[in-house]
């Protein structure tokens, strides 16, 4: 492309081109075309910098250094005073990188500032081992200086990041050293800003009462100042996705969630990991219930706890009364001036029917769940499209919820065999719109509650363990109910099944497009393979056989199956995890493709 033509492109046209580029390296190439292209491409690269960086600490450190170059002159002087070498940072970068930020992730990987501090002190570190040795061999005084420098950099970097938080679409916060300083700076800055505005408003009131003739001028100035302040969005105002985990139970964290509750009204997705504190749980609930467009809630725990530990958190997530949360004393004054006619508008919005369409619970012990908690869930989840219950205990307790899930499209359950009665009943009640079913189970004893080392599954995708307790009649009854009631299913994932069950699935689920199963290794599949091939659904695009070690049919049986499939569905693709060449050669002989996709339910 000639330079003259590239300069004639409108920015909107170029943005449309860039939005269709699939790889980041293409964007980097576009930077080198000319100055005009560079100015259009830079915002794209710096909208989601941490998504591009991924898990690479080196790339994350580069992003951190770039943001550090955007600090103010006062911040620059503070860092120089504590011994930080700022010579490698330009006083005024070419772009205001922080102004483009739309996705921020704060965790130990993205903001590990220890290597950066050594770099800023002109100390070269070649490996992680050398870094650890440097820290261990420091004297007490050197460690104190190092911590002071690290804290200073974290504070000044936090101030820069807060400037970008007015345009954020996605925010992820996980416990780490940097997050503690970030939240402290956030809390103090909000209080300082609010107290200064209250001071200015009080001065205006005093002046207006002392001079009636000047009241009009002051009112005009007040209106102009308010209009200018409204032109810039408050922190987190544009946020659409929020995720947090293992947050500290302290005042700065509580202040953050309270500020978000007041400023954020357009969040679509909230994901919560390991929130045990009732205080944090309640303010998190207030954040949930203050959203007008919330469509997804995920409540995840890494270990099992007694349900009473988080019963109130769980209940409050679905209880609208937390819209009226009582602010702590140190924050009450900050929001008194915001009470206006908008509160009536917000009340009308909050009275709208619930819009939640996706709910995910991970490692949640639902034993002894109280009736009023279920009532709140039933009220909030009557438009649910997707339900995920991953490694949960006592999901039978959610049986009353089933009748309200008539709009459910997607169901994913990984549970124990003891809880499969819930699934059987569910297929009969909430079956009208079900199109995607992921059902994993394991037949062993329930885990001990509140034991970090005891996990429900070592791997959710492992096949069911075959033992004498496995009831074949109950298994067939479950498949029979599924095929009788859930006739619109398109994607299906099941654990170990038997030949007669697979045949029933093939004959009944005519709209099936993707199927992932494990063949029971104790059954003789060879005598059923041809019949299975004859009855395979015509719309089936992909079938995955997950047996890795041993296949319960021989090469002749596979040939018989594929021969029949060829006449019914020649476009079928196979997911085949067994690496025996004799089987793979047969599949190639019949010209079927092998594609081991991840099951996308």
Q: What is the pLDDT of residues 139-178, one digit of tens each?
A: 888 889 888 888 888 898 999 888 888 889 999 999 888 8
Cα distances (Å, whole numbers) of residue 555 to 55, 339, 363, 511, 579? 43, 75, 41, 29, 13
When pLDDT is cut at 50, 70 and 90, the band that residue 437 belongs to is very high
DSSP state of 393: B
Lowest mean pLDDT among 231-240, 377-386, 446-455, 477-486: 446-455
The pTM (predicted TM-score) of the whole model is 0.70
Cα separation, 311 vs 389, whole angstroms: 17
**Is residue 452 pLDDT above 60, yes or no?**
no
The pairing of beta strand 514-519 with beta strand 436-442: unpaired
Count of helices and strands (H, E) across the chain? 24, 14
- Please list the residues that pair with 493 across neighbouring strands: 438, 516
Let me know: does 64 contact 116? Beta carbons within 8 Å: yes
Backbone angles phi, psi at 83, to 5 degrees: 95, 15
When pLDDT is cut at 50, 70 and 90, the band that residue 500 belongs to is very high
Backbone angles phi, psi at 299, to 5 degrees: -120, 110
What average pLDDT does this structure show over 224-238? 58
Cα separation, 521 vs 519, whole angstroms: 6
Q: Which residue has the higher pLDDT, 565 or 205?
A: 565
DSSP state of 412: E
When pLDDT is cut at 50, 70 and 90, the band that residue 507 belongs to is very high
Whole-number percent of the chain with pLDDT over 90 = 15
**Neighbour count for residue 223 (Cβ, 10 Å):** 10
| Torsional sign, CA 314, 317, 323, 329 | positive
Please state the domain extents for the chain: 7-45, 46-187, 362-442+471-488, 519-600
Count the helix, strand and coil residues of the chain and give each as a percent rounded to the nearest 5: 50, 10, 40
**Is residue 29 pLDDT above 80, yes or no?**
no
Cα separation, 162 vs 193, whole angstroms: 13
Let me know: does 511 contact 534? Beta carbons within 8 Å: no
Residue 442: per-residue pLDDT: 67
Q: Per this entry, what is the length of the chain?
A: 601
DSSP 197-210: HHHHHHHHHHHHHH
Q: Which residue has the higher pLDDT, 532 or 313?
A: 532
What average pLDDT does this structure show over 108-132? 80
DSSP 487-498: TT--EEEEEEE-
| CA-only gyration radius of the chain, Å | 30
Q: Which residue has the higher pLDDT, 375 or 557?
A: 557
Cα distances (Å, whole numbers) of residue 270 to 153, 295, 326? 30, 9, 22
Let me know: does 442 contact 467? Beta carbons within 8 Å: no
Q: Which residue has the higher pLDDT, 311 or 547?
A: 547
Cα distances (Å, whole numbers) of residue 34 to 12, 49, 90? 17, 22, 22
Whole-number percent of the chain with pLDDT over 70 = 74
Let me know: does 345 contact 317? Beta carbons within 8 Å: no
Residue 516: per-residue pLDDT: 93
Let me know: does 161 contact 98? Beta carbons within 8 Å: yes
Residue 396: per-residue pLDDT: 82
Cα separation, 509 vs 504, whole angstroms: 8
Reduced to 3 states, what is the DSSP secondary structure of residue 116? Answer: helix
């Amino acid at each position: 492309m000639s330079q003259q033509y590239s300069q004639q492109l409108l920015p909107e046209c170029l943005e449309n081109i860039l939005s269709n580029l699939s790889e980041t390296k293409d964007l980097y190439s576009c930077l080198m075309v000319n100055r005009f292209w560079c100015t259009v491409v830079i915002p794209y690269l710096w909208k989601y910098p941490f998504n591009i960086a991924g898990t690479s600490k080196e790339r994350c450190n580069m992003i951190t250094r770039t943001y550090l170059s955007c600090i103010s002159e006062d911040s620059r002087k503070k860092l120089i005073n504590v011994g930080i070498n700022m010579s490698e940072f330009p006083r005024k970068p070419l772009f205001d990188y922080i102004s483009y930020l739309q996705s921020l992730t704060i965790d130990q990987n993205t903001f590990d500032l220890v290597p950066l501090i050594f770099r800023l002190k002109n100390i070269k570190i070649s490996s992680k081992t050398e870094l650890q040795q440097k820290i261990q061999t420091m004297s007490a005084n050197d460690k104190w200086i190092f911590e002071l420098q690290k804290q200073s950099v974290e504070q000044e970097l936090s101030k820069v990041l807060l400037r970008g938080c007015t345009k954020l679409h996605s925010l992820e916060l996980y416990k780490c050293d940097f997050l503690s300083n970030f939240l402290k700076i956030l809390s103090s800055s909000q209080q300082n800003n609010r107290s200064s505005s209250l001071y200015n408003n009080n001065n205006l009131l005093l002046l207006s009462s002392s001079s009636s003739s000047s009241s009009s001028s002051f009112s005009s100035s007040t209106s102009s100042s308010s209009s200018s302040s409204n032109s810039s969005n408050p922190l987190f105002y544009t946020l659409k996705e929020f995720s947090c985990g293992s947050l500290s139970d302290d005042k700065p964290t509580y202040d953050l969630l309270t500020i978000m509750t007041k400023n954020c009204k357009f969040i679509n997705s909230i994901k919560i990991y390991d929130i045990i504190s009732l205080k944090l749980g309640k303010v998190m609930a207030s954040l949930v219930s203050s959203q007008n467009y919330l469509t997804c809630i995920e409540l995840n725990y890494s270990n099992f706890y007694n349900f009473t530990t988080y019963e109130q958190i769980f209940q409050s997530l679905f209880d609208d009364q937390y819209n009226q949360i009582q602010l702590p004393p140190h924050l009450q004054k900050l929001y008194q001036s915001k009470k206006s006619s908008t509160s009536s508008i917000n009340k009308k919005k909050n009275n709208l029917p619930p819009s939640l369409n996706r709910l995910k619970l991970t490692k949640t012990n639902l034993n002894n769940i109280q009736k009023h908690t279920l009532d709140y869930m039933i009220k909030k989840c009557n438009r649910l499209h997707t339900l995920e219950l991953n490694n949960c205990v006592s999901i039978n307790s959610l049986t009353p919820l089933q009748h309200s899930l008539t709009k459910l499209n997607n169901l994913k359950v990984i549970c124990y065999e003891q809880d499969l009665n819930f699934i059987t009943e569910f297929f009969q009640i909430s079956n009208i719109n079900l199109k995607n079913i992921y059902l994993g189970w394991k037949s062993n004893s329930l885990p001990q509650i509140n034991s970090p080392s005891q996990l429900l599954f070592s791997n959710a995708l492992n096949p069911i363990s075959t033992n004498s307790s496995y009831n074949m009649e109950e298994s067939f009854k479950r498949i029979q109910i599924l095929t009788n009631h859930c006739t619109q299913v398109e994607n299906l994932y099941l654990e170990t099944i038997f030949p007669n069950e697979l045949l029933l699935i093939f004959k009944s689920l005519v709209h099936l497009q993707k199927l992932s199963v494990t063949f029971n290794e104790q059954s003789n599949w060879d005598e059923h393979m041809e019949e299975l091939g004859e009855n395979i659904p015509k719309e089936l695009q992909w079938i995955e056989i997950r047996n890795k070690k041993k296949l319960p049919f021989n090469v002749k049986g596979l040939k018989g199956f594929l021969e029949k499939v060829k006449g019914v569905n020649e476009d079928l693709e196979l997911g085949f995890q067994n690496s025996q060449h004799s089987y793979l050669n047969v599949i190639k002989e019949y010209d079927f493709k092998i594609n081991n996709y991840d099951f996308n339910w």
